[in-house]
Chains A and B, each alone.
Chain A
Amino acid sequence: MTHVLEFSFPVEGRGFSKAGDAASRVKQLLKQAAIPTAFIRRAVVVAYEAELNMIIHSNGGTLELLVSQEEVVIRAMDIGPGIQDVEKAMLEGFSTAPPEARKLGFGGGMGLPNMRRSADELHIESDPELGTVITAVIHLRANTV
């Protein structure tokens, strides 16, 4: 699928104070692109959770927003250290957040489950060497609202 629009936002690992900046920008851009509000809402939830995941767990990476008339794709690509057990990570309440994140109230174990609920497709590829790529797809068709 070719996307008309491609944006990318750098996300810093442990950059808690900036949490939400990328997701807010995603919201603004989707509004400009005439995407219906219901889809924007779902895309923003996905983007925020993806952004938070990178902040809490990763050594940093990039959040991508890809848009075409058919779909909105949110892709989070980080540079490590990778998810040990993807299936477990998908369970509600399961979290491997480090103590420093928990001290700040993050790491409730709802990130990936929330993303799965809000997206139509969720793909996770993780490698301890290369890092993690999470791709969430939202189809812009009326029957998926």
Chain B
Amino acid sequence: MQYYHSVHLNEEQCQACTICTTRCPTEAIRVYQGKARILDERCIDCGECMRTCPQDAKTSRVDQLDEVFRYPYAVALLPPSLYSQIPPAQFHVDGLVDALAAIGFDATADVGHGAEHTAAAYKEYLQEAAARPVISSACPAVVRLIQVRFDELLPNVIPIESPMETTAALVRETLANEGMKPEDVGIFFVSPCPAKVTAVKQPAGHSHSNVDGILSMRDVYQELYPRLNHKGNPGGRRLFPLARPGVRWGYTAAQAFEVRGIHLSLEGLDQVVQVLDDLSLGKLPAVDFIEANACPGGCIGGCLTVQSRFQGQVNMHRNIRTLPTRSPLQREDFQTRYAAGFYDMDLPLEPRPAQPLHEDMGQAMQLMLRQEEILHRLPGLDCGACGSPNCKSLAEDIVRGWTTEMDCIFILRESVQNVAKELWDLAQQVPPTLHKRDRETP
């Protein structure tokens, strides 16, 4: 299986400092031959390495803005987090749509609207779900983390499409009803994070994404900001009504606010990993719903945003107040869709567990014995200087044949010491013919 990844390394900028290797939540990075390499089968595109790289050597693949003009009718999908980027003085809910029209979008659709559908679908699902706790599937980095590291928890992940996918499906439907040909419509998501890019390019839980392209929020914002408040902008078209409950999904805790029952709202992968660890041991049995966002602060803390997470929070608090409080979701329409499976993922989420040391159980066990032996010799300091995140994974990398013990600077030093000692011992040896002379020397 070939895995698509949005996150990748800009080799020229990488200084091989090893900071990303130790911060990666799935231990997916190794420094090898002076560059940080990402292990495809382990990376979840969370963007943690983009956030922590001091050289900005990690970037995300995105589509270019010109892609938009390839479609006769281009639609911008706006995530709730976009509303946290615009300073309140420049924010006007219709002005934003007009500015996007000036960039070249024929229409805009709010993922916040789709999120209201998703919230209602979550509520229904929670009433019928057998497995507890139910884990939100809205954050694609968390879904991939579960596939890679916690596959035993996949039955707990809610099999409902993300707000982005649901919104895109609603856009397709609306425009088809207006008589537009599907191939004429291009739907572009303005993404706050690399995980959403991967969710579109290689979806989990469905065969094909309804989103045609992914733009970086930074790229769009550069074009957007100068056009805000501009009087000469053309009138833009907003496809769906917008209200506060959906836009709140840009923050943590919005989802948990929507569903009933005992819930946890997690933000940042440290929190998420801690709770998933607990869940896989059967801890936290009384919890009904877990909202889990890979980024601190929720989507507004995504690593493709422009504003800092905290500036984003402040902007969002202000901007959201200009929106209507009540959800425009029509109950009957929702119920018909829910019953018809409109919100459901169409494929099961597949496990992507870490590769065992060997496919054959017997051989894997032999390798583990070697791994334990090696681990015993390593210093246990987890310094990361070898390019692996810690001593445990260096031992694993050695038995996988990726590297050798000499990559450990402590083992290397020990070996140099041993060689030096041997050299010294050899230097003490005196050839028989020199014995006498040595003795006679005064």
Contacts and interface: CB of A to CB of B under 8 A. Distances in A.
B356 A34 contact: yes
A44 B364 CA distance: 19
Contacts of B369: 4-5
Interface stretch (A21-29, A54-62, A78-86, A127-135): A21-29
A145 interface: no
Contacts of A140: 361
A107 to B, nearest CB: 15
Given A4-B365, A5-B369, A40 B152 contact: yes
A69 B362 contact: yes
Interface stretch (B34-42, B277-285, B302-310, B383-391): B277-285
Contacts of B354: 31-32
B353 A31 contact: yes
A32 B395 CA distance: 12
B281 A32 contact: no
A67 interface: yes
A33 B282 contact: no
Contacts of B362: 4, 69
Given A37-B353, A45-B282, A5 B365 contact: yes
Interface residues of B, number: 26
Contact of A29 (B277, B361, B368): B368
Interface string B297-334: 00000000000000000000000000000000000000
Q: Which 9 A-B pairs have the closest CB atoms?
A: A34-B356, A34-B364, A4-B365, A48-B281, A34-B361, A20-B281, A33-B364, A32-B357, A41-B152
A48 B279 CA distance: 12
Interface in A1-53: 4-5, 7, 20, 23-24, 27, 29, 31-35, 37, 40-41, 44-45, 48
B253 to A, nearest CB: 25
A44 B360 contact: no
A32 B280 CA distance: 17
A31 B361 CA distance: 10
Contact of B360 (A4, A34, A45, A67): A34
Contacts of B360: 34
A33 B152 contact: no
A27 B365 contact: no
B359 interface: yes
23 contacts: A4-B362, A4-B365, A4-B369, A5-B368, A5-B369, A24-B277, A31-B353, A32-B354, A32-B356, A33-B356, A33-B357, A33-B365, A34-B356, A34-B357, A34-B358, A34-B359, A34-B360, A37-B351, A40-B152, A44-B152, A45-B281, A48-B281, A68-B365
Contacts of B278: 20
Given A37-B151, A40-B152, A44-B152, 18 more contacts: A4-B365, A4-B366, A7-B372, A24-B280, A31-B354, A32-B354, A32-B357, A32-B364, A32-B396, A33-B364, A33-B368, A35-B361, A37-B152, A37-B351, A37-B353, A44-B280, A45-B281, A69-B365
Contacts of B357: 32-34
A67 B277 CA distance: 22
Interface in B342-374: 351, 353-354, 356-362, 364-366, 368-369, 371-372
Contacts of A69: 361-362, 365
Contacts of A41: 152
A32 B359 CA distance: 10
Contact of A20 (B151, B283, B356, B359): B283
Contacts of A31: 353-354, 356
A24 B281 contact: yes
A20 B365 CA distance: 23
Given A34-B359, A41-B152, A69-B362, A20 B353 contact: no
